[in-house]
Amino acid sequence: MKDEKYTPEVGSWLKGREVPHPDSQQTARQVAARLPHISQRSRWRPLPSFRRLPTTDQTTAHQPSPIPASNGHTPTIIGRTTSMLSPVKAITAGAIVFALGSAFLIAQPFGQQTSVPGAEAEAIAPTWVTGTVQPALSCSDGTSKVEIDVIRSRNFECGPQTWTSSDPRLTGEVTRRWSEDTYRMDDGSGSKTVSLDAAYLRNEGGGWACSAIDLLDGGSVRSGIALTGSARTCIGDGGYEGLSAILASEYGPGYSEEFSGLIFSGEFPPEPEPPAAE
Amino acid sequence: MDQDLVVRTQQGDQRAFETLTASNHPRLFRVAHGILGDPHLAEDATQQAFLDIWRNIPRLRDPAKFEGWSYRLLVNACYAEAKRKPDWTHYDGLPAGREPMAGETYTSVVERDRLERAFAKLSLDHRSVIVLRYLLDMTPEEVAETLDIPRRTVYSRLKRAMPAMRAALEADARPISGAASSKEVIG
User: Nearest-CA distance from A42 to chain B in Å?
Assistant: 7
Angle at A63 between CA A62 and CA A67, to 5 degrees: 135
Checking if the pLDDT of A124 tops 50, the result is yes
Bigger pLDDT: A4 or B28? Answer: B28
Same domain membership, residue B112 and residue B51: no
Counted domains in chain A: 1
Domain stops at, among B86, B106, B135: B86
Domain that holds residue B42: 1-86
The CA distance from A259 to A250, in Å, is 6
At residue A14, the 3 state secondary structure works out as helix
Same domain membership, residue B106 and residue B61: no
Domain-located, residue A60 = no
Same domain membership, residue B57 and residue B110: no
Q: Residue B34: is it exposed, middle or buried by C-beta count within 10 angstroms (0-12/13-18/19+)?
A: buried
Same domain membership, residue B50 and residue B108: no
The stretch A239-251 carries a mean pLDDT of: 88
Looking at residue B108, its pLDDT comes to: 59
Domain stops at, among B39, B58, B86: B86
Which tens digit of pLDDT belongs to each residue from A205-233?
999 999 998 888 776 666 666 676 668 89
Same domain membership, residue B160 and residue B110: yes
Mutant choice from A18, A40, A220, A257 vs B, greatest count of B C-beta within 10 A: A40
Same domain membership, residue B79 and residue B28: yes
From chain A, pick out residues whose CB is under 8 angstroms from the CB of B34. 14, 17, 19
Give me the helices (H) in A82-204, please.
87-100, 110-114, 119-122
Q: What is the ipTM of this complex?
A: 0.74
Domain-located, residue A186 = yes
Long-range contacts of B155-160 (CB under 8 A, 24+ apart): B157/B125, B157/B126, B157/B129, B158/B129, B158/B130, B158/B133, B160/B126
The stretch B135-162 carries a mean pLDDT of: 88
From chain A, pick out residues whose CB is under 8 angstroms from the CB of B163. 3
The CA distance from B51 to A39, in Å, is 10
CB contact under 8 A, B51 and A34: yes
B18, B30, B61: residue with CB nearest A28: B18
Same domain membership, residue B10 and residue B66: yes
Residue of B nearest to A32 (CA): B18
Same domain membership, residue B153 and residue B68: no
Confidence grade of residue B93 (pLDDT, cut at 50, 70, 90): very low
- Percent of chain B past pLDDT 90, that is, above it, reads 30
Looking at residue B132, its pLDDT comes to: 93
Same domain membership, residue B161 and residue B137: yes
CB contact under 8 A, A255 and B46: no
- Percent of chain B past pLDDT 70, that is, above it, reads 75
Domain-located, residue A38 = no
Q: Which of A159-173, A216-230, B69-83 has the lowest mean pLDDT?
A: A216-230
CATH number of the domain to which A150 belongs? 2.40.160
Which residues, including other chains, have CB under 8 Å from residue B19's CB and lie 6 or more apart?
A: A28, B5
User: Nearest-CA distance from B111 to chain A in Å?
Assistant: 9
The stretch B4-25 carries a mean pLDDT of: 92
Instruction: State the first-to-last Cα distance of chain A, in angstroms, to the nearest integer.
Output: 66
- Percent of chain A past pLDDT 70, that is, above it, reads 63
Same domain membership, residue B74 and residue B132: no
The stretch A135-140 carries a mean pLDDT of: 76
Counted domains in chain B: 2
Bigger pLDDT: B9 or A75? Answer: B9
> Would you call A72 an interface residue with chain B, using a CB distance cutoff of 8 Å?
no
> Would you call A254 an interface residue with chain B, using a CB distance cutoff of 8 Å?
yes
**Chain B neighbours among A 102-121 (CB < 8 Å)?**
none
Distance of CA A21 to the CA centre of its chain: 45
Domain stops at, among B86, B111, B144: B86
A24, A39, A184: residue with CB nearest B25: A24
Domain that holds residue A193: 82-265
Bigger pLDDT: A103 or B164? Answer: B164
Domain-located, residue A37 = no
Which tens digit of pLDDT belongs to each residue from B125-134?
899 999 999 8
The CA distance from A273 to B147, in Å, is 43
Domain-located, residue A24 = no
CATH number of the domain to which B16 belongs? 1.10.1740.10
CATH number of the domain to which B173 belongs? 1.10.10.10
Instruction: State the first-to-last Cα distance of chain B, in angstroms, to the nearest integer.
Output: 47
Same domain membership, residue B70 and residue B100: no
Same domain membership, residue B9 and residue B72: yes
Instruction: Give me the half-sphere count of Cα atoms (radius 13 Å) on the Cβ side of residue B178.
Output: 7
